[in-house]
Amino acid sequence: MARYTGNVCRLCRREGYKLFLKGRRCESDKCAVDRRNVPPGMNIRSRPRRLSDYGVHLREKQKVKRIFGVMERQFRRYFQMADTMRGNTGVNLLTILERRMDNVVDATGLSLSRAHARQLINHGHFTVNGRKVDIPSYMVRVGDVIAPIAKEKSKKIVSECLELNNDKSAPSWLALDSDQKSVKVVNLPAREDLRFQDIQEQFIVELCSK
């Protein structure tokens, strides 16, 4: 699956919003949004253009894609899946994205960032219900238990990440066992469980439904 390999701080500056793509660095004074909150390539003195309605909707979609690290084709597939489900399409879409395994690993502090979570999963450091899973887009289900494989190297990596993220609390739909270094999916995420509460999912639905 394709992925973005460029400078991720440019993405945050383009959206004018902290996407937390570099983990704890985004919370420090080194954050690019805090230091220079202007779109990349734009002259600081120039007057920013006012976005059209289409531009506002597009920026919201791009923001969500970049938060979860998915490309356009995969995002469209998620939207089609959400559209066939019962309930609000926008909330369904965000719920699907939240259930990605790389998001679960990142949200519970088992990695340093979403990109780091994706790398650890690709390299086979995690299991789901005792079976190794190396697909970052794997969608977890209720009752699933995510844990590092039974190797000292994997356990050491996860332990170091948990220690660095000791002040990070897991979302309410996930139960983190710090002693066992495992995460259990208690229930499916609801809208209020999302880490990015200011997402305007209705703008995305209006854009993708055209």
| CA–CA dist 24, 114 (Å, integer) | 11
State how far the alpha carbon of 50 is from the alpha carbons of 18, 25, 89, 159, in Å: 21, 30, 28, 47
Instruction: Name which CATH class applies to 100-188.
Output: alpha beta
Mean pLDDT of 92-97: 94
The per-residue pLDDT for range 157-184, each reduced to its tens digit, is 999 999 988 888 888 899 999 888 899 9
What residue ranges do the domains of the chain occupy? 8-96+196-208, 100-188
Q: How many CB atoms lie within 10 A of CB 98?
A: 23
Domain 8-96+196-208 architecture: Orthogonal Bundle (1.10)
CA 196, 200, 202, 205 torsion-angle sign: negative
Residue 100, beta-bridge partner list: 139
Average per-residue pLDDT for the chain? 84
53: left (phi over 0), alpha (psi -120 to 50) or beta: alpha
The pLDDT value recorded for residue 144 is 95
The per-residue pLDDT for range 110-132, each reduced to its tens digit, is 998 888 899 999 999 999 999 99
Q: CB neighbours of 157 closer than 8 A, spacing ≥ 6?
A: 120, 125, 148
Q: CB neighbours of 208 closer than 8 A, spacing ≥ 6?
A: 61, 76, 79
The per-residue pLDDT for range 27-80, each reduced to its tens digit, is 556 665 556 666 666 555 555 667 788 888 888 898 898 888 888 999 999 999
Residue 203, beta-bridge partner list: none
